[in-house]
Structure 1
Amino acid sequence: MLVYTTKIPVSDELGFDQFVEYIFVWLKGSKHYHFTDESWNRNAFQELSPNENESLQIAFYKQINICAVRFRFKDKKGFIWKTDYILNKQENKLSFQMYTEQNEKNNDKQQRIKLPVFLKKIEKFYGKDGDLEIKDLPIPVNESNAILLRDIVLNKVEYELPIIYITRDKFNTFKINPHQLAKEFKGQAHVFYDESLDVQNILKKQTNGKNPYLGAIEIYYKKAIERIYPIQLIRAKSDDERIDLIYSILINQLIRVSIDDKYSWNELKNQRQIENIDELKKKLHEIDDYKALATEYDQALDLIRDENRELKETNRVQEAKINSLNERLSNVSQEPVLIKGDEEDLYEDEQKAILEEILTAALKNLPKDHKRTRDILESVIDKNKPKCDIEQKRSDLRNYISKSSKWNQQDKNELKKYGLSIKSDSNHTKLVFYDDERYTYSASKTPSDNRGRKNLAKNLIHIFYGVNNNKDK
């Protein structure tokens, strides 16, 4: 199963001998592997295996200017990992793929892969991806270079590596640090970010509103675009979880794309087998027993073709499975049923708690024969349980106000637990909800009798904590 793939432009300075030497340096220097004094003399094929859990294969395709390396490793859990490095000097690109033969029960979500040290060792040979350098720094987008992002958004220009574009939210901040993301994705993607909020308005005019904005992140591939909405980033509990989310979406798109034959270990190997058989056929013309050998050749070729057909059919079935799983992931990453509005929560999950109460009331009053509507409401309510207990907040506030006799310092301190601060003038006491002047209530300087305090509690709950169906009517 393919779990990671990338293709990195490299400079002319990285030759085949250096490429293989860096492979050896990586393997010899690792405490996990057991290679010692290996060497390569440009053989067409070479295999090295210090033990049953490790093997290194090197294939040199001189005619098409390609060197391919496959490293196979069985870890302590019994999982088999295969990493393919294919250097194509004709195009000056290095392809890297990682496969695993572990079980597929966690296929719904891609786990972030720790890249081999080898890719770090050859960073100095990274070339330019079109007009972009491959580096661990993000690229700021401003008025002077906005035209580059415009062409990327409108798919007028393509790069080998994906483009990750991070926008500022309405508070002029980022949901994920662009510099941290650029370091994590060096050699995997280019990272762009808004230098200011004004850039979004510039791109909106230049792209006819197709650009992401207000905290969204967009990933541009050669043949696809995917948007990550702010609500998805807010739900992640840490920067690591946000990076995992971006990584999962990025890799799931990359592994859907068929690998070019020139960068596939198996396809290159099959091509060499066919070439070897063709060469054998030419030599058979020189001997008397050509017909018998030619028949043997044809049978061998038919066998290889049958095996190729079976492999391609197996491949097709596996790709269909992967596409199905990726489709499920894509559906999860689409725009949610509800998008959070411009209001921020004044306390944890405030908006979710109010919406849950409204939907629950609507469900209760819905006729039983409205089954589809009831199923949808029940599903939405079940998947959006708030962390706060709004009814408990109402009850606590009601109990406290009902017993309070005057607005002293103890009252002021206690009311802060419910988001209420007290501001006094000559005649009244003004209560402000979470210091937002839009939500105030004027009360008398001294709470009156028991009935008056209960009415005050009822009014505060209605204004600040939503509608209570029974207790505060």
Structure 2
Amino acid sequence: MDAEKTMEQMVRMIFRYMNQQKRERLDTWDGIQMLQMRRHADQLLMDKRRIEENRKQTSKEKDEYWDEFVKAQTQVETLTEQNERLQNEIAILRARVDSMGERPLLYYGNEEDYYQGEILEFVRSALAEKLDRLPKEKDNPLRSADVLQDILSANECEEMQAQRQAELKRALKGYRTLTPDIRRTLIDIGFKITSDGKHHKLTYYDNDRYTVTMAKSGSDWRGGDNLFSEIKKRIY
């Protein structure tokens, strides 16, 4: 009996000692479950962040693709309009050539059009200037005036020179330095731009016969107007 009591007391002392000890979380089933739940929650949070990042990236790529699509669509529409316009011009020119027979009114020389209708505009301009200088008499019509007016009426054009001059004059207004807008305008109307020292060199359709010097910085508000006048004199 003494041995049993002694054993019982020892067991109680052991349990009392163990109950007094501080247990780590992993020493209990609840602690293990809590750790698993925390790991699972952390994984879910990481997955959520990854999904959100992928969503943002996908949205950004979608916007970029849409912008490219809109640009491409605009270019297609522009090219389609240009093609239709050129087809109409070709049809008109063919009709005029057919109506004139084998011998046209004028032949092309060695110079070529730098853009559609350029040479025709020069010819029309010369004829119009000649017509303006002729006397105006209602009761005494001039044969030369009637012929010139008839040629001008039969050879209409889009007057691209006037459009290009207006755009160039707008871009160069108050010129101080070569801005992206001015550079784009010059390139659009056919100029190649090279820089040397304090000046830019403008070469028209890469033809060294037609070059204009452009200061890198405008000295005063008249610089842009002077540059426009110089280009107009050399090119138009």
TM-score using structure 2 length: 0.54
Counterpart residue type for residue 366 of structure 1: L
Give the SS at the match of 1:386. Answer: coil
1:338 to 106, 109, 114: 106
Greater share of strand: 1
Q: Does 1:438 align with 2:206?
A: no
Deviation at 1:370, TM superposition (A): 5.4
Counterpart residue type for residue 166 of structure 2: S
The aligned residue for residue 352 of structure 1 is 120
2:197 to 426, 431, 441: 426
The separation in 2 between residues aligned to 1:330 and 1:384, in whole angstroms, is 14
Given the superposition, is the C-alpha separation of residues 334 and 424 from structure 1 closer, same or farther in structure 2, using an over 3 Å criterion? same
Counterpart residue type for residue 386 of structure 1: C
Task: Please list, as runs of the form range in 1=range in 2, the aligned pairs for 1:106-117 lying within 5 A after superposition.
Answer: none
Deviation at 1:423, TM superposition (A): 0.6
Give the SS at the match of 2:194. Answer: strand
CA RMSD of aligned residues (A): 2.7
1:225-284 Cα shifts (integer Å, max 9, x gaps): xxxxxxxxxx855xxx98xx9xxxxxxxxxxxxxxxxxxxxxxxxxxxxxxxxxxxxxxx
1:396 to 167, 170, 187: 167
Q: Does 1:452 align with 2:223?
A: yes
Task: Please list, as runs of the form range in 1=range in 2, the aligned pairs for 1:259-338 lying within 5 A after superposition.
Answer: 332-338=100-106
1:306-331 Cα shifts (integer Å, max 9, x gaps): xxxxxxxxxxxxxxxxxxxxxxx987
Given the superposition, is the C-alpha separation of residues 341 and 393 from structure 1 closer, same or farther in structure 2, using an over 3 Å criterion? same
Q: Does 1:416 align with 2:184?
A: no
**Contact 2:168/2:185, CA 8 A, preserved across alignment:** no
User: Structure 2: any 5+ residue segments left out of the alignment?
Assistant: 1-88
TM-score using structure 1 length: 0.28
The separation in 2 between residues aligned to 1:459 and 1:453, in whole angstroms, is 10
User: Structure 1: any 5+ residue segments left out of the alignment?
Assistant: 1-234, 246-328, 466-473
1:331-353 Cα shifts (integer Å, max 9, x gaps): 72131111111111111101111
1:403-440 Cα shifts (integer Å, max 9, x gaps): 33212444322321222221111232101112222110
The separation in 2 between residues aligned to 1:343 and 1:405, in whole angstroms, is 35
Give the SS at the match of 1:450. Answer: coil
The aligned residue for residue 361 of structure 1 is 129
Given the superposition, is the C-alpha separation of residues 457 and 330 from structure 1 closer, same or farther in structure 2, using an over 3 Å criterion? closer
**Contact 2:172/2:225, CA 8 A, preserved across alignment:** yes
The separation in 2 between residues aligned to 1:464 and 1:393, in whole angstroms, is 11
The separation in 2 between residues aligned to 1:382 and 1:442, in whole angstroms, is 38
Aligned-pair identity (%): 29
Counterpart residue type for residue 124 of structure 2: E
Structure 1 residue runs of 4 or more that deviate by more than 6 Å after TM superposition: none
Deviation at 1:392, TM superposition (A): 2.3
Given the superposition, is the C-alpha separation of residues 372 and 412 from structure 1 closer, same or farther in structure 2, using an over 3 Å criterion? same
**Contact 1:439/1:464, CA 8 A, preserved across alignment:** yes
Greater share of helix: 2
Which has the greater radius of gyration?
A: 2
**Contact 2:190/2:205, CA 8 A, preserved across alignment:** yes
1:15-71 Cα shifts (integer Å, max 9, x gaps): xxxxxxxxxxxxxxxxxxxxxxxxxxxxxxxxxxxxxxxxxxxxxxxxxxxxxxxxx
